[in-house]
């Protein structure tokens, strides 16, 4: 029975974003955390690419950011000066 173990883990770490069921979900949670940690300054795409640092490929990063956009967990704001856009957590 795993429920008592899961319950004790979530009591110790109420932020359940640390736990992921598979690699893709772990990548999703990492990208969301990186964008969230940038706070009001946001994070540029090039900074996200550097954070990935070959943990997973850039195509998967793009897929992940699109999923986060569709689920309205992040937003993309455009600027007239470089960098042209930044990612922000909602």
Tell me whether strands 43-44 and 74-78 are parallel, antiparallel or unpaired. unpaired
Give the per-residue pLDDT at 10. Answer: 47
Give the per-residue pLDDT at 63. Answer: 93
Q: What is the pTM of this model?
A: 0.72
Q: Which residues contact 46 (CB under 8 A, 6 or more apart)?
A: 83
Give the per-residue pLDDT at 21. Answer: 82
Q: Which residues of the chain have pLDDT under 70?
A: 1-18
Helices 45-52 and 58-70: crossing angle in degrees, nearest 10, is 120
Give the per-residue pLDDT at 56. Answer: 84
Q: What are phi and psi of 83, to 5 degrees?
A: -70, 145
Q: Does domain 21-89 have CATH number 1.10.10.10?
A: yes
Give the per-residue pLDDT at 18. Answer: 61
């Amino acid at each position: 029975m795993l429920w008592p173990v899961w319950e004790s883990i979530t009591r110790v770490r109420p932020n359940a974003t640390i736990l992921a069921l598979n690699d893709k979900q772990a990548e999703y949670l990492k990208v969301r955390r990186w964008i969230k940690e940038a706070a009001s300054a946001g994070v540029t795409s090039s900074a996200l690419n550097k954070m990935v640092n070959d943990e997973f490929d850039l195509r998967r990063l793009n897929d992940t950011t699109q999923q986060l956009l569709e689920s309205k967990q992040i937003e993309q704001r455009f600027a007239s000066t470089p960098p042209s856009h930044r990612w922000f957590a909602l």
